[in-house]
Amino acid sequence: MTLRFGTDGVRGSANAELTPEMVLALGRAAASVLGGPRFLVGRDTRRSGPLLCSALAAGLMSEGVDVVDLGVIPTPGVAARSADTGMPAAVVSASHNPFADNGVKLFGGGGRKLADAEEESIERWLAELLAGPDREKCSAPGPVALAPEVQGARAGGLRPGRPAAVVGSAVGSAVVDSEALEWYRQRLVGSLQGRRLSELAVALDCANGAAAAVAPEVFAASGARVVATVGTSPEGTNINDRCGSTDPSALVSAVLSTGADLGLAFDGDADRVIAVDGCGRVVDGDRLLALFALDLRSRGLLAGDTVVVTVMTNLGFHRAMGAAGIGVHTTDVGDRNVLAALDANGWSLGGEQSGHLVFKDLATTGDGVLSGLLLADLLVRAARPLAGIAEDVMVSFPQVLRNVEAPDRSRLVGAPGLWAEVAAIEADLGGQGRVLVRPSGTEPLVRVMVEASTVGAATDAAERIEVAVRRALSLG
């Protein structure tokens, strides 16, 4: 078995699918493809984090790369430190997944997401390294076209021709960067350019994850009154457990009980955010993105008057942006794809319904705490509550989501009965809805999404498609 990159890095059940042996090999492959001489490594709060960080560091050091340990820190904090130092980086995290899962996200030097060619090269090295103990019988992977900034930057241990192992003083070392977390906190506060949050009452849900080490301090330092916190006691097994952006119910209760102006829920590695208004209503990434697009455009800061979204973005968002004269560019699911479109076109704003929001002028990746700060700043400048402006910004089409457990999603493409059913439903919906069926890039699921003019119509259509998916994949 080997590892394959999904929508955002590699993930699996820690110590079962994602074993220390595999992660050690991943470290060796990353050292070869992304180069050195130093590599940043951070993690979230999962119990398996130290185990897999140690394995990853061992793989990197065995190829002559020095490891800089950032400790528990949000994924965007690692990306920001990578951008600042020019070093490649890794985060051991499974983001919003349950605590028993873990994963590895990789960044090239400069805090950038990996190019397809780099991921493919790492996968080929992994296949070689995991093929068996007899290294000499393994043929080196063929050449791959790497990004210019990593050309010639490979470490010494893994090169075509299978040289001798790195030994002696060439073996990598490990150091702790004790300043990284505070550096990241100050960077976040500085994003407001001296503006203050003027005693805005804020409730925070840190998902018992990496945001717990950052968010409360950052909002307090920015002038907000942090009136309630949820999910700020990580125990290694409670990350994303009935808290965070995937389950903001505890945050809703905290907002209502404290009279907070704003609630913000992050996921386990703090690269996404979902908001709660003062009335206890959840405000998803689509509405937040619409608010930011209109605000940036009004200040002349929306590059190209265009925002980048994914195929999951609500049809109501597209209509609201069209009415405002703002262009919308659509990509496949994943902030990696959003970032690629932003980079390719010089645009400044993009995001996903899940709360991955990218402010390209301020960060190289999605950053939940940064997005939450900017939302609080928007509310202070607008002098209006989130409940009012979020309600006005767009009219959402009812959206029904279904997840179908499916270990083998490869048969989706060759399932004519399923796609005939999808086509029939789309014809019924006409221009008042849409259908999306796709394999998850992070979990063994088929995701079904239906939008329609009414909840009933969307629910009926989603049920029909779920039945068709189960039939096509012989799931019973």
Domain assignment present for residue 4? The answer is no
Q: CA of 131: how far to CAs of 1, 2, 39, 163, in Å? A: 9, 9, 25, 18
State how many domains the chain has: 3
If asked whether residues 105 and 169 sit together in one domain, one would say yes
The candidate with the shortest Cα–Cα distance to 335, out of 441, 183, 432, is 441
How far apart CA 93 and CA 210 sit, in angstroms, is 10
Of 139, 161, 178, which residue sits at a domain end? 178
Domain assignment present for residue 1? The answer is no
Domain assignment present for residue 147? The answer is yes
Taking only the tens of pLDDT, the chain with its 476 residues reads 556 777 678 999 999 999 999 999 999 999 999 988 999 999 999 999 999 999 999 999 999 999 999 999 999 999 999 999 999 999 999 999 999 999 999 999 999 999 889 999 999 988 888 886 544 433 444 333 333 433 433 333 444 444 568 999 999 999 999 999 999 999 999 999 999 998 899 999 999 999 999 999 999 999 999 999 999 999 999 999 999 999 999 999 999 999 999 999 999 999 999 999 999 999 999 999 999 999 999 999 999 999 999 999 999 999 999 999 999 999 998 888 999 999 999 999 999 999 999 999 999 999 999 999 999 999 999 999 999 999 999 999 999 999 998 887 888 888 899 999 999 999 999 888 999 998 887 678 899 999 999 999 999 999 999 999 999 988 86
If asked whether residues 66 and 109 sit together in one domain, one would say yes
If asked whether residues 297 and 360 sit together in one domain, one would say yes
Of 364, 393, 422, which residue sits at a domain end? 393
Q: Which residue has the tokens 């070392």?
A: 173
How far apart CA 451 and CA 429 sit, in angstroms, is 9
How far apart CA 23 and CA 51 sit, in angstroms, is 10
**Is residue 320 within 8 Å of residue 291, measured between CB atoms?**
no
Task: State if pTM tops 0.85.
Answer: yes
* Residue-range definition of the domain harbouring residue 455: 399-472
Domain assignment present for residue 24? The answer is yes
**Domain of 133: which CATH number?**
3.40.120.10
**Is residue 201 within 8 Å of residue 260, measured between CB atoms?**
yes
Backbone dihedral region of 459: left (phi > 0), alpha (psi from -120 to 50 degrees) or beta? alpha
Domain assignment present for residue 3? The answer is no
If asked whether residues 125 and 215 sit together in one domain, one would say no
If asked whether residues 41 and 144 sit together in one domain, one would say yes
Domain assignment present for residue 339? The answer is yes
Q: Which residues are catalytic?
A: 95
Of 130, 161, 178, which residue sits at a domain end? 178
If asked whether residues 95 and 118 sit together in one domain, one would say yes
**Domain of 434: which CATH number?**
3.30.310.50
Q: Show the CA angle centred on residue 289, arms to residues 283 and 291, nearest 5°.
A: 80
If asked whether residues 439 and 385 sit together in one domain, one would say no
Domain assignment present for residue 271? The answer is yes
